[in-house]
Amino acid sequence: MAEQQTPTLSKVVGVLGGMGPAATVDFYAKLVRHTPAQRDQDHLRVVIWADPTVPSRQQALLAGGTDPTPWLEEGVRHLMGAGAEIVVVPCNTIHAYLGPVLADQPVEFLSIIDTTVRAIQRRDARRVGLLATDGALASGVFQAALDAAGIEWLLPMPSQQEALMGVVDAVKAGRSEQRLHAQVQEMRSDLRERGAATTIAGCTEVSALLGDLSAGDDVDVIDPALELALRTIERATRS
């Protein structure tokens, strides 16, 4: 009879999700898929708090809508209560609110913005296209991080930005038809023609739509959800 192996316990990963549900599912799938595991016991220990009732980040940032901070604080309390040692949030736009929420928490926070910028630096890209929601762009979370790293950025033309928001809304509504893929590809092509070495899929609904683009498989796109998953695996398994 084969001797049972004692599992090496990972740090407990807390996923603050629900923004939106499909993006949370996509992130966890990438986390599982890219963990170097041969059996169940090799995977990460993960706690997910997925609360889709968090008020619209777009409305909060663009139109003075309800501040989502109290919902985020509640979610972090649930994750901490479940033993989370690392907190990740697979939503780009909400990072505009996360600093104060996590500032005094005894937990390691992995930023999807920071991990994305590091991925760009590894590729040595000097100019990137940025596909992000209106709210994320208004908050400046990506632009500030890119500027600090000395990376130029390009945005879609206004008509394409409007189309991008339509794609995001469609994915939130559970749609993923080929037409939506084609629209995103057209945006990426335009940014590439304007000089972008690569494009950031800077909304996790776009990440979910594109699926699992393994690191390095597509030099023309950076998937923040995938980069965050890879960074989470690295930190959670480090002794």
Own/partner pairs for 216-219, CB < 8 Å, 24+ apart? 219/123
Cβ contact 47:14 at 8 Å: yes
Q: Is 228 a catalytic residue?
A: no
Pair 43, 35: CB distance under 8 Å: yes
Residue type (1 letter), 128: V
Helix (H) and strand (E) counts in the chain:
11, 8
144 is catalytic: no
> Which burial class, exposed, middle or buried, applies to 192 when counting CB atoms under 10 A from its CB (0-12, 13-18, 19+)?
middle
Distance (Å, rounded) from C-alpha 57 to C-alpha 69?
Answer: 10
Among 31, 54, 91, 229, the active-site one is 91
Q: Which of 151, 180, 187, 203 is catalytic?
A: 203
Instruction: Catalogue the active-site residues.
Output: 91, 203
